[in-house]
């Protein structure tokens, strides 16, 4: 225990130092820095409100640069600070030069802490299924898409009976079935009154639009929990979903059909967020359609956003909740900023204490928690040797 506490103390000191080393700009000033070919950092201070703004501009046509998604703690229920996520990225993917936090997630401590609210796809693997909120996706060719993605799924038994799959790597809803993969975590979480079925093999990571056939290995009450071995899945059901799963026996064949649309088969990376704040060159705060309150729209908070036009990707953070330094922005103010930068389409990502930007080894903003909050996932910028996209 002493060693753990000492390690945490050292980590806190390092984080504080990184924050203090972030560029300290004078009032109404702008500082530009080339991070690498195709990637520019701009720090902006506006003293009228005041606002402290950080912008990463990425050349969308640069062959040496790509964008990808990384998952905190490597699992759905894992969270870790942005700089730690970046620090463990394998060199085989390329060199990470910058990144921002991404989706909202279950922040409260509990069995499902860390679960992203929306869609998450990393290197083509379906990590988490979408909510009613908008998500940011990158297709196989690197094209960005902001949309409200929809998930549908079904599990079918040998006898022709079938039941809807409500999601992947999430808490099971009442009268539903979910599929849990090793990406969820080491084991399932106890679900009172439910049934858990272990099946396999899972020879390749689960994709967001495909059909897989598995053999049932074992069934047990879900309130006992279930270790999720490598190359296996667990189907977990509650209510009517549990009734369906109870009828399955060892060695039965089951078929799981999954679909995430639109463009599900072509998505390489994706993170949830919301709401969408720009569409086709115009400000479009689509909070009501995404079930987001007007108070969240109107109140100034630290913010993180992603936007793009035909030439450039914009990764943006705005500090907030720091009197005299930066007040944060409403979503209308954030959308106005994205339009000013030149974005035609933009989405709001998780903000508040989660808002974090890292570039070239340095935390570039001042997180409102006065520490780098652990997060569920991130959008990262890579340099790619020899061209191509990560």
- Cα(first)–Cα(last) distance of the chain, in Å? 39
Higher pLDDT, 11 or 318: 318
Distance of alpha carbon 228 from alpha carbon 179, whole angstroms:
11
pLDDT digits (tens, 9 = 90+) for 44-91: 999 999 999 999 999 999 999 999 999 999 999 999 999 999 999 988
pTM of the model: 0.91
Residue 173 DSSP class: P
pLDDT of 389 reads: 46
Give the rounded distance of the alpha carbon of 80 from its chain centre: 12
Domains and CATH numbers, the chain: 2-147+265-383 (no CATH), 150-261 (2.60.120)
pLDDT of 385 reads: 63
- Grade residue 27 by pLDDT with cuts at 50, 70 and 90: low
pLDDT digits (tens, 9 = 90+) for 93-148: 789 999 999 999 999 999 999 999 999 999 999 999 999 999 999 999 999 999 99
CA distances from 21 to 14, 177, 362 (A): 11, 48, 7
Give the residue from 152, 331, 177, 333 showing the smallest Cα distance to 246: 177
**Side-by-side strand order, sheet with 303-308:** 29-36, 39-46, 51-59, 312-318, 303-308, 345-349, 276-279, 282-283
Backbone angles phi, psi at 347, to 5 degrees: -135, 140
Burial class (CB in 10 A: 0-12, 13-18, 19+), 291: exposed
- Grade residue 226 by pLDDT with cuts at 50, 70 and 90: confident
CA distances from 273 to 104, 134, 151, 153, 376 (A): 6, 6, 16, 22, 12
Distance of alpha carbon 72 from alpha carbon 81, whole angstroms:
8
């Amino acid at each position: 225990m002493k060693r753990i506490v000492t390690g945490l103390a050292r980590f806190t000191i390092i984080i504080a130092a990184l924050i203090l080393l972030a560029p300290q700009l004078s009032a109404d000033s702008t500082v530009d820095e080339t991070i690498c070919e195709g990637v520019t950092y701009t720090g902006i201070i506006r003293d009228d409100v005041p606002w402290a703004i950080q912008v990463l501009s990425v050349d969308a046509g640069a062959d040496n640069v790509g964008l990808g998604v990384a998952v905190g703690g490597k699992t759905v229920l894992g969270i870790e600070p942005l700089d730690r996520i970046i620090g463990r990225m394998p060199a085989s993917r390329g060199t990470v030069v910058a990144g921002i936090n991404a989706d909202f997630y279950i922040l409260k401590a509990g069995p499902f802490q860390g679960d992203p609210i929306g869609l998450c796809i990393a290197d083509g693997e379906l990590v988490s299924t979408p909510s009613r909120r908008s998500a940011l996706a990158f297709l196989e060719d690197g094209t960005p898409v902001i949309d409200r993605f929809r998930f549908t799924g079904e599990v079918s038994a040998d006898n022709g009976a079938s039941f809807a799959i409500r999601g992947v790597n999430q808490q099971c809803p009442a009268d539903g079935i979910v599929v849990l993969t090793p990406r969820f975590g080491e084991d399932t979480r106890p679900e009172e009154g439910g049934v858990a079925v272990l099946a396999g093999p899972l020879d390749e990571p689960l994709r967001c639009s495909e059909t897989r056939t598995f053999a049932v290995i074992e069934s047990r009450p879900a309130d006992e929990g279930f270790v999720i071995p490598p190359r296996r899945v667990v189907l977990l059901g509650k209510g009517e979903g549990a009734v369906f799963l109870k009828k399955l026996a060892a060695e039965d064949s089951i078929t799981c059909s999954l679909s995430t649309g639109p463009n599900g088969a072509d998505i390489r990376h994706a993170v949830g967020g919301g709401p969408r704040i720009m569409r086709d060159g115009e400000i479009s705060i689509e909070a009501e359609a995404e079930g987001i309150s007007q108070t969240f729209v109107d109140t100034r908070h630290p913010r993180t956003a992603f936007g793009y036009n035909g030439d450039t990707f914009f990764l943006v953070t705005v500090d907030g909740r720091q009197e005299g330094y930066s007040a944060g922005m409403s979503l209308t103010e954030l959308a106005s900023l994205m339009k000013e930068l030149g974005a035609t389409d933009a989405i709001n990502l998780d903000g508040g204490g989660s808002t974090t930007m890292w570039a070239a080894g340095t935390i570039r903003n001042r997180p409102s928690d006065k520490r780098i909050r652990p997060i569920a996932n991130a959008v990262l910028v890579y340099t790619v040797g020899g061209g191509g996209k990560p």
